Amino acid sequence: MTVTFIPLLAPKNQMVHGTVRFYNGTVAIVASIGVWLLSFRLLPSLSPAYRTRPILASSLRDLCRLATGDKYRDWFGHIGGRFVATPDVATPLQRAHLPAALSVGHEIIELRNGARRLEFDTTLDPVLTAVVRGDTPRATDYLARLDAALAAHAATGPEMQTVLRARGRLLVILETLTRHSSYFEKGTQR
């Protein structure tokens, strides 16, 4: 309405009474709006697969940023917005990739916190580097080694809970990377 109001009424300080000029301008504006609306009907809409691809790619990019050390205030909200933007006709596999990225990202955030407490953060870095590169076989190998090292870690009391939680998080990442390897290996295509 605002776009059409200003040219039609031409709110200026000077008063010009030109009926013909007014009708010519009105017809031109209405016709251009009609052509503009018609163009949306003539141009085909983007396919759901095409609209889903950038959503998945940006989620993977954000996951790689998270793995390299960037921080997100609300990882669930960040990726959750992408759930809403995903077209309804996306394939089940495409829909499954977003929760996988969400899960791996959450586990990375929590693992970093536990790694500092248990002092295995230097051992975690090669795992995250392999995830960023899209090298799923290497990442799963590093994850298995890190899990074995944590299993051998002698801990008691509250530290034992932290070790068990860290092992659980490693296993979640390992399982997710294995099940969705085709998605996470796209990291090498950037």
pLDDT of residue 179: 92
pLDDT in tens, 132-146: 888 889 988 988 888
Domain boundaries, the chain: 2-42, 48-189
Condensed to tens digits (0 to 9), the pLDDT of residues 71-110 reads 888 888 888 888 888 888 888 888 899 999 999 999 998 8
Better-scored residue on pLDDT, 150 or 189: 150
What mean pLDDT, rounded, does the chain reach?
82
Integer-rounded Cα Rg, in Å, for the chain is 27
pTM score of the predicted model: 0.70
**Residue 122 scores a pLDDT above 90:** no
Residue linked to tokens 């959450």: 106
CB atoms within 10 A of CB 103: 17
Assign 155 a pLDDT band (cuts: 50, 70, 90): low
Instruction: Give CA separation, 51 vs 58, 71, 83, in Å.
Output: 12, 27, 13
Q: Which residue has the higher pLDDT, 3 or 165?
A: 165
Residue 190 pLDDT exceeds 50: no
Q: State the pLDDT at residue 16.
A: 62
